[in-house]
Amino acid sequence: MASTYSQADRRSARRARTIEDALDAAEAIMREQGVGGLSMSEVARRLGMRQPSLYKYFSSLHALFDALFARGLARTDAAVTAAIRRRPPGVPRLRAGARALMRWAVENPALAQLLYWRPVPGFEPSAETFAASRDQMATVRTELAAAAGSGQLRAAAATDEALLLYTVVISGVISQQLANEPGASFAAGRFSRLTDEALDMYFARYAPAGGTDADPRP
């Protein structure tokens, strides 16, 4: 019985490794040829397998995109979580999280395009995959409410409008940088280097009367 379980574990590990290798290859293709250049045939070629074999792991090209979308969400979540871990609630976490997300996007343009643009006609992430995006938005909503509740920002910061505007600021910087100056570093990019200025304007919009930024930038 133990041997049977061991064989099953090995098969599961091989499958997981092949899936990760396929996603790595797909990312490389998107970096080289653009998101629209991704194909099942090219992924299979880079893995040294026949294309029909790849369908054992991804039922379609859109299923592959869905897995890439999930990978992008997981990595953005990891970047933001690491950035806010030691920051106090509210504005400090919102600012640190936004910086981390924008930096990640500039450094990972292929996945960022998939997350923040619609480069694949007809593709939408599955409900299961997109649930992680909703969780991220819920976290931002919680921090906005904390900022409003503690007096860091006005009560208006705890509204849907404020949440949407926060995403507009972030996605705007990301889109401008990736579209106009791809390949530039986060620190040197003409648009990404304006990250703090863009956040300053956002927080000024909701600053309490006579108040100051609860997390002034360097």
Flag whether pLDDT at 218 surpasses 70. no
User: Would you say residue 213 has pLDDT above 70?
Assistant: no
With cut-offs at 50, 70 and 90, classify the pLDDT of residue 22. very high
Residue recorded with tokens 């927080």: 203
Residue range 7-12: mean pLDDT, rounded: 84
Q: Is the dihedral of CA 7, 8, 14, 17 positive or negative?
A: negative
What integer pLDDT is reported at residue 117 of this predicted model? 93
The CATH number given to whatever domain includes residue 39 is 1.10.10.60
Model pLDDT, residue 1: 46
- pTM (2 d.p.): 0.90
Q: Distance between CA 206 and CA 203 in Å, rounded?
A: 5
How do residues 157-186 score in pLDDT, each as one tens digit? 999 999 999 999 999 999 999 999 999 999
Domain region containing 132? 60-218
State the total domains in the chain.
Answer: 2
Same domain? 54 vs 64: no
pLDDT value for 122: 94
Q: Tell me how far apart the alpha carbons of residues 93 and 100 are, in angstroms, rounded to a whole number.
A: 10
Residues 86 and 178 placed together within one structural domain of the fold:
yes
Same domain, 122 and 143: yes
- The verdict on 66 and 42 lying in the same domain is no
Q: What is the pLDDT of residues 134-163, one digit of tens each?
A: 999 999 999 999 999 999 999 999 999 999
Whether residues 123 and 200 share a domain: the answer is yes
CA–centroid distance for 34 within its chain: 17
